[in-house]
Structure 1
Amino acid sequence: MRFARSAVLAAVFVCAACGLVYELALVTLGSYLIGDTAGQASIVLGVMVFAMGIGALAAKPLQSRAAVSFAVIEMALALLGGISVLALYAAFAWLDLYAPALVATAFVLGALIGAEIPLLMVLLQRIREQSPGSAVADLFAADYVGALLGGLAFPFLLLPVFGQLRGALVVGAVNAVAGTALVFTLFRRDLSRRSRAGLTAGAVAVGLLLGYAFVVAHDFEVTARQQLYRDPVVHAERSRYQEIVLTKSVGSTDLRLYLNGDLQFSSVDEYRYHEALVHPALAGPRTDLLVLGAGDGLAVREALRYPDVRSVTVVELDPAVVELARTWPALRALNGGAFDDPRVRLVHEDAFAWLRDAPSRFDAVIVDLPDPDETATAKLYSVEFYTLLHNVLAPGARMVVQAGSPYFAPRSFWCIEASLREAGFTTAPYHVDVPSFGDWGFVLAGASPTLPADVPPLRFLTPDVLRAAAVFPPDRGRVAVEPSTLLHPRVLEYARQEWRNY
């Protein structure tokens, strides 16, 4: 009897771990594809918790046949939870139905998870009846500890070892085994011959479907990913922080880098962006430079063109991006092997955290970070972040920030400028045309945009072009917006609203 109770509680433990993994898988997929981590988490958790209540109520009529009902629910949950990431990725890539598919999937998963506990309670009491309070305490203790296991296993085991698609499928298989094994061992006598045959056939079918999905998961991911990009994908990887994709057009030299689906550069016109970003910031002192972001090495390439630059410290969160820039032949050729220059020092840390304890002061700072359209990057455009930058600026230092498009996202652009002013900087905004991006803007802090007297030969930027870049026509003029802070990331709100239709 003690073994039987322990087996039921072990099943509760495993099912709880699997259920939490399904939730985390949906949230993580949404953050990768949509970028709105807080919004995705709110939708998934809210819908699933609501559906769990519905599922618990719906399980009432099933209690008379608790064993067979539990087995059916576990097989359905294993199949749907296992293929949920795959199905949602397909909905995103081919059908443009991600949001409704996410809500529907979260609801069905939540309902099935909610039906587990009442049925497990019946099975537990069937072994040895005890007071309701004690039974609930045992059941929920196993449930909560199992949830802890699932919460830790997802980011530290499943994602690194199996990835998103296969990780969910592995958990689905574990879920199916735990549910059916419990019923077929401890409660076999509660099953009719017909029920045993049906459950056996169902378990085999679920196992075969999950196994087949596991085998084809890689090919499916490659095909679905290609659907999202115009040009052929020549490299793709999922790092600890983001999805990294390189594409190369057929019949031309257009190499493009995407991070979480956002274009970082096109080799056809990246020189326009990087010349406008780097050289105005180096018109003053430039012995020791700090570059935040720019893991592709292209901004570093421009900075290293000045022989009097003694050191360039690059703070880039994701070492996978730097490794790609160092080793992928076409990208290495584009950045001129910048990261192998002895003047370059690499730091793989979060820029915000690194600035709090930065050991040095710099003559110029180049801030080339991903756009503030995700929760994780919005803090890097806050008043607090820019205030920290004061600590690393030497007297007379210049700083430049890439600030997005003043045409497509004017409120975002001017919010970044307002945040810099709120942090105590004098600002000089300017913008240039980068065909792959459109009209793109920057904010120079500490001086007016000028080129160094000894500027090396440039393909795009001239003194006249830079003077014109500081002029904004009426339809791209200053917008009155509030600065962005950690507790009120206005730039994130603006970016999501303005880029929604592009």
Structure 2
Amino acid sequence: MIESHAPAPPGAPPPWVGPPRLPVRPATGRFLVLACVFVCAACGLVYELELVALASYLTGDSVTQASVVLSVMVFAMGIGSLAAKRLRRHAAMAFGALEALLALVGGCSAMALYALFAWTGDWGGLWASGPRWLLVAFSLAIGLLIGAEVPLLMELIQRIRRQDAGGAVADLFAADYVGALVGGLAFPFLLLPLLGQLTGAMLTGAVNAIAGGALVLGLFRRDLTPRARWLLLVANLAVLGVLATATVLVDDFERAAREAVYGEDVRVALQTGVREVALTGGTDGRPLDLYVDGSLRVSGRDEDRYHEALVHPAMDGPHARVLVLGGGDGLAVREVLRHRGVRRVDIVALDPPVVDLARRDPALSRLNGHVYGDARVHVSTQDAFRRLRRPAPVPSYDVVIADLPAPGITASAKLYSEEFYGLVRRVLAPDGRLVVHAGPVSPRPRVFWTVDATLRAAGLRTTPYRVEGRGPGSAAGPGRTAGAARAPHDWGFVLTKKARPPGARP
């Protein structure tokens, strides 16, 4: 008998594809493959968001970090899809091995990034060595592995029941996009609040490994040799063992990393929602430092210099009613209450844990003069932008003090917008004053003058000024990232009043 070597007709299946050898009916097998697509897509998006969130937490620049992670990942996904075309002949084994590797890399990525940052403190410019490059490396590796899933899953679907390419692609991407939606919603609303960044990433890796391993070893086990089945089983068990061990040790790891970042005298460290608050010092003559999400909010070395410069120029004039935006630590309010004639101080602070510490921690409450025990002080823990936009009438204030995170931090950008200053202008009394912390001047003069220009565009007359710290390495107020080699040596402020209409009397 002579074997024919004539080319296969167009649309015919590849020569290595034999009849399906499944332990279940084709319809059930197809459902299981699409369910695995759903789970893997959810895990893949969690990995992406985890990298963005951790990098933003460490640097404070979420736009840059999201751009780097997502652009590198999308590029890598395309390369991974092309590379996986060569693996279609062994689609089941390749997919199982790929998911085990993806679970290990994605599950451990957050811990590896945080460890390098904590023990090197090297997260400088965009392309600095250390964690920045590791972020790109993890984004590239995870993107390659996620991209390689698509052609392999397509091959597995077609192995079960061949159909036109358009229908198979539609089914695959429907499951993929719905899974991405679930992963994207689970990350901020479930994983972060309940488990935290590190444990959440490792749990995601475990789910990824179980889903991929179960699909291949359960549904496509007859496509594997006995040796291949054992190798894949051992690989998945090893990955799950690594992730389980890391999860057990995560508390000790976080404690050691926190000490490496903040110093050895961490007194208070708590996680509320997605925020981490840490207090160091404040006892035995050591200066108190307050960190929120890795950013130094208060330094006992010269916080008085910062808060005096922020508050006292604005209090020169009527000051019966004062609104403090931010400043949950109570230190700006301490300076406000030193002025006679203050009848009411309203604080709008976004961080309930900071306010709670300012009330209860002996060192911090002593530093702020126990202002939360003063009957004139009223606090509201909500977003300042939302508070000022509410339709209910807002009382007018003689003084508004914006003691907010530095404008270079993307999450606070809306609080330095023309619209926000317009809202503040509405609540200012006719002779009221607004003072804005506009970040350090020396390293970022363009940011400082942009804040000044935005205030003028909102119809306010501006008086910019600058105050130096007491010495090298000192800092107070928002804007210093934990682990930075040197802190800002100055702070910039802009004092404003309402601009009078043309022809009005001074």
- Structure 2-normalised TM-score? 0.84
Q: Secondary structure, in 3 states, of the residue corresponding to 1:47?
A: helix
Preserved CA contact (<8 Å) 1:316 1:349: yes
The answer to whether the Cα contact below 8 Å between 1:231 and 1:249 also exists between their aligned partners in 2 is no
Displacement of 1:390 in angstroms is: 1.1
Contact kept in structure 1, 2:307 and 2:335, CA below 8 Å: yes
- Structure 1 residue 7 and structure 2 residue 36: aligned? no
Deviation larger for 210-219 or 412-421: 412-421
Aligned 8 A contact 1:30 1:40 in 2? yes
1:116–1:298: structure 2 CA closer, same or farther, 3 Å change rule? same
Superposition pairs for residues 117-136 of structure 1, below 5 Å? 117-136=150-169
- Following superposition, the deviation at residue 86 of structure 1 comes to 0.6
| 1:392 CA drift (Å) | 0.4
Aligned counterparts of 1:433 and 1:110: Cα–Cα separation in 2: 45
Q: How many Å apart are 1:35 and its aligned residue?
A: 1.5
Distance in 1 between the 2:407 and 2:400 partners?
19
Separation of aligned partners in 1, 2:299 and 2:177: 48
Tell me: CA distance 1:100–1:443, structure 2 relative to 1, closer, same or farther (3 Å).
Answer: same
Deviates more, 1:428-437 or 1:8-17: 428-437
Structure 1 residue 193 corresponds to structure 2 residue 244: no
Q: Which residue in the other structure is 2:335 paired with?
A: 302
- Is structure 2 residue 301 aligned with structure 1 residue 268? yes
What letter matches 1:364 in structure 2?
V
Give how far 1:330 is off. Answer: 1.0
| Conserved 8 A contact 1:361-1:392 | yes
SS at match of 2:460: coil
Unaligned runs of 5+ in 2: 1-24, 123-129, 476-488, 499-506
1:107 corresponds to 2:124: no
Answer whether contact 1:316 1:348 (CA < 8 A) is retained. Answer: yes
How far the C-alpha of 1:356 sits from its partner, in A, is 2.1
Aligned twin of 1:175: 208
Aligned partner of 1:402: which letter? H
Alignment partner of 1:58 is 2:83: yes
Contact 1:231 1:248 in 2 (8 A): no
Matched, 1:26 2:51: yes
Distance 1:441 1:60, change over 3 A: closer
Please state if 1:362 is matched with 2:401. no
Report how far residue 229 of structure 1 moved: 3.0
Q: How far apart in 1 are the matches of 2:264 and 2:112?
A: 24
Alignment gaps of 5+ in structure 1: 448-502
User: After the TM superposition, which residues 83-232 of structure 1 pair with which residues of structure 2 at under 5 Å, given as runs?
Assistant: 83-95=108-120, 96=122, 97-230=130-263, 232=265
Within 5 A, what are the aligned runs for 1:304-453? Answer: 304-306=337-339, 308-357=341-390, 359-435=394-470, 436-437=474-475, 438-446=489-497
Secondary structure of the corresponding residue to residue 407 of structure 1:
coil
Query: After alignment, is 431-440 or 115-124 more displaced?
Result: 431-440
Partner amino acid, structure 1, of 2:86: P
Amino acid across the alignment from 1:15 = C
In structure 2, distance between residues paired with 1:174 and 1:309: 57
**Deviations 1:310-350 (Å, cap 9, x if unpaired)?**
21111111212111211222111111222232222222222
The CA deviation string for residues 286-309 of structure 1, in whole angstroms up to 9 with x for no partner, is 221100010111111222234532
What are the superposed Cα offsets for residues 226-264 of structure 1, whole Å, 9 maximum, x if unpaired? 222355322223444543222217853300112333322
Work out the CA distance in 2 between the residues paired with 1:446 and 1:140.
56
Are the equivalent residues in 2 in contact too, given 1:241–1:318 (CA < 8 A)? no
**8 Å contact from structure 1 (residues 47, 110) kept in 2:** yes
CA distance in 2, matches of 1:241, 1:286: 36
Identity %: 57
1:293/1:193 Cα in 2 relative to 1: closer, same or farther (>3 Å)?
A: same
SS at structure 2 position matched to 1:228: helix
Q: Give the corresponding residue for 1:479.
A: none
For 1:39, the equivalent position in structure 2 comes to 64
Change (3 A) 1:160 1:288: same
Conserved in 1, the CA contact under 8 Å of 2:326 and 2:402? yes
1:317–1:349 Cα contact (<8 Å) kept: yes
- State the AA in 2 paired with 1:142: A
For 2:270 and 2:28, locate their aligned partners in 1 and report how far apart those are by CA, in whole Å: 45
> Are 2:192 and 2:274, in contact at CA under 8 Å, matched by a contact in 1?
no
Q: Distance in 2 between matches of 1:283 and 1:415?
A: 25
1:389-419 superposed Cα distances (whole Å, 9 cap, x missing partner): 1100012112222223333433332332232
Partner-residue secondary structure (3-state), 1:401:
strand
Stretch moving more, 402-411 or 56-65: 402-411
In the TM superposition, residue 75 of structure 1 has moved relative to its aligned partner by 0.4
Higher RCO, Cα 8 Å, sep 6+: 2
The Cα shift of 1:11 comes to 0.5
303-312 vs 279-288, which moves further: 303-312
Instruction: Give the counterpart letter for 2:440 in structure 1.
Output: S
2:407·2:438 contact (CA, 8 Å) conserved in 1?
Answer: no
Deviation per CA, 1:64-91: give whole Å up to 9, x if none: 1111111100100001110010111122
**Would the aligned equivalents of 2:408 and 2:447 in 1 still touch at CA under 8 Å?**
no
Amino acid at match of 1:446: K
2:104 is the counterpart of 1:71:
no
Count of equivalent residues: 447
Gap change, CA 1:431 and 1:70, over 3 Å in 2 = same
1:49 maps to which of 55, 65, 74: 74
